[in-house]
């Protein structure tokens, strides 16, 4: 049974969450499925802070999937038993809607807390702390630590997990949402001993086959009339080149720097034939486009799943129109359109 929470921002939400955590004996932390650096970093980082701060509490992570490329951050430890849920306080991180939670038992918990930064109109759980303008949930957890630093312990490991999520979700501090506070919180984590060289070498590493595949794929990038760039990776192509689904999904970044292509989209066929759509943009907002296809996310980084070539074509046509309208308006206003 989903409970509908009222979302709060800032100090009031943090205070309520701290009180619920302080009162709980068992805490379970979960995140969204198909996790990225922010989902993994925030769950591991928060659990490390809570374990170090409250050794008497039982703190679990419980998620049904994992991301190989983030395995360097360590594993999630023993999972809770089903009967642990009834008395537990459960914290869902980085997950806008309940259908995306990587844990089917969420609403078995006594108390459900949502902490998130996705654009979302309806919240779930008993308490929601949502700040859409934050560059990452890891930044919010760092803020939470800073607010209660006299009662919480930030280990070096926790700082490394949070830093990983901050750099991945903010595109190395380049995306919208990055501000002075993001960098001050990142500085706080660096002061706790983060080894960023190790983190970046782990995040940047690619197999030679993947690099070669990307070279091949670069020649397959197409653009719509208005300049939206797109790539399609069928399951057959992926298997032929021996590329994992995860690596195939990461190729969306190949289109990131194409001048004039302010929107870029990767269509990646999943094993079951459905197609994961990864939408990225600069200046133009794509979140509403994604939500028209049942997806969502952030203003300039969203995702969706489609089930036919017709739907793919429809999504591309809408992206093309969105970019066309944006460029026309920009020219009409200033005779110039950013690239
Ligand atoms: P992705 O391209 O999968 O990395 O997604 C970009 C952003 O959109 C991430 O913050 C995701 O959590 C979010 N997102 C992806 N798919 C969906 C979806 N179907 N519904 C809501 N948000 C999504």
Identify the helix (H) or strand (E) that includes residue 237. helix 235-240
Per-residue pLDDT in tens (0 to 9) along the chain, 339 residues: 567 777 777 899 999 999 999 999 999 999 999 999 999 999 999 999 999 999 999 999 999 999 999 999 999 999 999 999 999 999 999 999 999 999 999 999 999 999 999 998 788 999 999 999 999 999 999 999 999 999 999 999 999 999 999 999 999 999 989 999 999 999 999 999 999 999 999 998 888 988 999 999 999 999 999 999 999 999 999 999 999 998 899 999 999 999 999 999 999 999 999 999 999 999 999 999 999 999 999 999 999 999 999 999 999 999 999 999 999 999 999 998 889
Interval between CA 96 and ligand 1 midpoint (Å): 9
Residues 126 and 107: beta-carbon distance below 8 Å? no
Question: What is the location of CATH 3.10.310.30 in the chain?
Answer: 208-334
CA 198 to centroid of ligand 1, rounded, Å: 27
- Give the fold, CATH level 3, of 7-203: inorganic pyrophosphatase (n-terminal core) (3.90.1640)
Phi-psi region of 267 (alpha: psi -120 to 50; beta: other; left: phi over 0): beta
Structure tokens at 68: 């190989």
Cα(327)–Cα(263) distance, integer angstroms: 11
pLDDT value for 103: 97
Closest ligand 1 atom to 278 CA = 2
| Helix, strand or coil, per DSSP, at residue 225 | coil
Radius of gyration of the chain (CA): 20
- CA torsion through residues 292, 298, 300, 306, sign: negative
> For residue 152, how far is its CA from the centre of ligand 1 (angstroms)?
31
pTM of the entire structure?
A: 0.92
The 10s digit of each residue's pLDDT in 40-70 is 999 999 999 999 999 999 999 999 999 999 9
Mutate to test the pocket of ligand 1, among 138, 297, 307 (most ligand atoms within 8 A of CB): 297
Q: What is the pLDDT of residue 121?
A: 76
- Residue 12 burial (CB < 10 Å; 0-12/13-18/19+)? exposed
Instruction: Give bridge partners of residue 95 from the DSSP assignment.
Output: none
The C-alpha angle with vertex 276 and arms to 274 and 281, in degrees rounded to 5, equals 155
Residues 6 or more apart from 59 whose CB is under 8 A from it? 27, 29, 47, 50, 51
Q: Which tens digit of pLDDT belongs to each residue from 96-121?
A: 999 999 999 999 999 999 999 999 87
For ligand 1, the distance from its centroid to the CA atom of residue 34, given in whole angstroms, is: 9
The CATH class, in words, for 208-334 is alpha beta
Torsion of CA 326, 330, 331, 337, to 10 degrees: -90
Pairing of strands 301-306, 296-298: antiparallel
Length of the chain: 339
Pocket, ligand 1, Cβ cutoff 6 A: 32, 36, 96, 100, 118, 278, 295-298, 301-304
Where exactly does CATH 3.90.1640.10 map onto the chain? Answer: 7-203
Phi, psi of 77 (to 5 degrees): 80, -175
Cα of 53 from ligand 1 centre, angstroms? 32
222/261 Cα distance (integer angstroms): 10
Alpha-carbon distance of 81 to 291, in angstroms, equals 35
Best mutation site among 296, 300, 304 for ligand 1 pocket (most ligand atoms within 8 Å of CB): 296
| pLDDT value, residue 16 | 97
Provide the phi-psi class of 24: left if phi over 0, else alpha when psi is between -120 and 50, else beta.
Answer: beta
Tokens of 83: 């009967």
Pocket test for ligand 1, best of 302, 304, 315 (most atoms within 8 A of CB): 302
Evaluate whether 270 touches 293 at the Cβ level (below 8 Å). Answer: no
Q: Quote the CA–CA distance of 281 and 167 in Å, as a whole number.
A: 18
């Amino acid at each position: 049974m989903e409970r509908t929470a009222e979302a709060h921002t800032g100090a009031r939400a943090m205070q309520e969450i701290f009180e619920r955590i302080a009162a709980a004996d068992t805490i379970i932390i979960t995140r969204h499925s198909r996790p990225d650096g922010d989902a993994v970093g925030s769950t591991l980082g928060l659990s490390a802070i809570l374990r170090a701060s409250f050794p008497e509490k039982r703190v679990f992570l419980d998620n049904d999937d994992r991301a190989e490329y983030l395995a360097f951050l360590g594993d999630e430890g023993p999972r809770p038993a089903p009967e642990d849920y009834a008395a537990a306080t459960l914290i869902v991180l980085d997950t806008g809607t309940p259908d995306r939670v990587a844990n089917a038992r969420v609403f078995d918990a006594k108390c459900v807390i949502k902490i998130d930064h996705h654009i979302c109109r309806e919240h779930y759980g008993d308490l929601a702390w949502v700040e859409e303008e934050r560059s990452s949930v890891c930044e919010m957890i760092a803020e939470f630590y800073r607010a209660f630093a006299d009662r919480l312990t930030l280990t070096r490991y926790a700082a490394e997990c949070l830093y990983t999520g901050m750099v991945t979700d903010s595109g190395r501090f380049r995306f919208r949402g990055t501000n002075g506070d993001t960098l001050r919180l990142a500085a706080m984590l660096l002061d706790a001993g983060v080894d960023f060289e190790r983190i970046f070498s782990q995040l940047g590493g690619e197999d030679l086959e993947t690099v070669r595949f990307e070279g091949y794929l670069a020649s397959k990038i197409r653009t719509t009339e208005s300049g939206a760039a797109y790539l399609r990776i069928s399951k057959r192509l992926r298997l032929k080149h021996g590329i994992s689904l995860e690596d195939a999904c990461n190729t969306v970044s190949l289109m990131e720097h194409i001048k004039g292509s302010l929107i870029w989209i990767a269509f990646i066929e999943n094993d079951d034939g459905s197609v994961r759509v990864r939408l990225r943009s600069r200046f133009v907002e794509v979140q509403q486009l994604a939500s028209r296809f049942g997806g969502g996310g952030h203003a300039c980084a969203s995702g969706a799943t489609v089930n036919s070539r017709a739907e793919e074509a429809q999504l591309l046509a809408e992206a093309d129109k969105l970019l066309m309208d944006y460029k026309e308006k920009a020219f009409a206003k200033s005779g110039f359109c950013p690239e």
